[in-house]
Structure 1
Amino acid sequence: MPDTVSPMITDAVTQTNVKVVAEAPAIAMGSLFQTMAHSTGILFENNVSAAQQQNTLAQAATNQGVMQIYSMDTMAAAGATEKVAQSGTPDQMQSLLAILEAFRPR
């Protein structure tokens, strides 16, 4: 029984090992590129989701503000009208009193 291995077999095994070793960097880079592309995709998905949430919050805040403006509008207008209507009354009364005092006999 011979102890030597046929040179054709050793040559085939050597070539297979060289092929695997030569392809390893390319496969590693391909895997790295796929991972980076996937991570970038998730990054964009998260960015879109955050933008949508910000848009929803902005709409809710705007809606809340408009509701407050509309609910306070009647009370604020009534209060402002009352203040404007009464603001000149003391001045007018003082002026009228001064005029009456001017015509009063002494």
Structure 2
Amino acid sequence: MSASKPSAAMVDTDALVLGLSPAVATAALYGSMVHSMGILFENAISAQKLQTLSGELVVLEGILENLTATAVDVADDVEMLDPAAELAAILKSLHPKH
């Protein structure tokens, strides 16, 4: 059997594949970098949302704590109010004993 020589079309195809391989590799690298950058931005946005939510929850907790303390203080003040005692104190201050 004689060794067959490759045809001109086959040689051109091999040269084309070898010639385009740097461009294909660069395109794959750029595609990978773009995908990684997209994931990076998704993670950054997710972290920002969590930080915003955490801040809002801290503010809400502070407001609720302030309102709760205020309601308790008002309830204590209402319980301590005694109109008869207040009237007696006013009358004593108006007519002090000599």
Q: TM-score, normalised on structure 2?
A: 0.66
What's the counterpart of residue 47 of structure 1? 48
Bigger Rg over Cα:
1
Structure 1: tracts of 5 or more residues without a match: 80-84, 98-106
Measure the CA separation in 2 of the matches of 1:78 and 1:71.
Answer: 11
Match of 1:19 in 2: 20
1:62 & 1:46 partners in 2: Cα distance? Answer: 24
Q: Which runs of 5+ in 2 are unaligned?
A: 81-85
Q: What is the aligned partner in structure 2 of residue 33 from structure 1? A: 34
TM-score (norm 1): 0.62
| Superposition RMSD in Å | 2.9
Q: Distance in 1 between matches of 2:27 and 2:77?
A: 73
- Runs of 4+ in structure 1 deviating by more than 2 angstroms, as ranges, are 3-8, 73-79
Q: Which runs of structure 2 are paired with 1:22-101 in the superposition (5 Å)? A: 22-75=23-76, 97=98
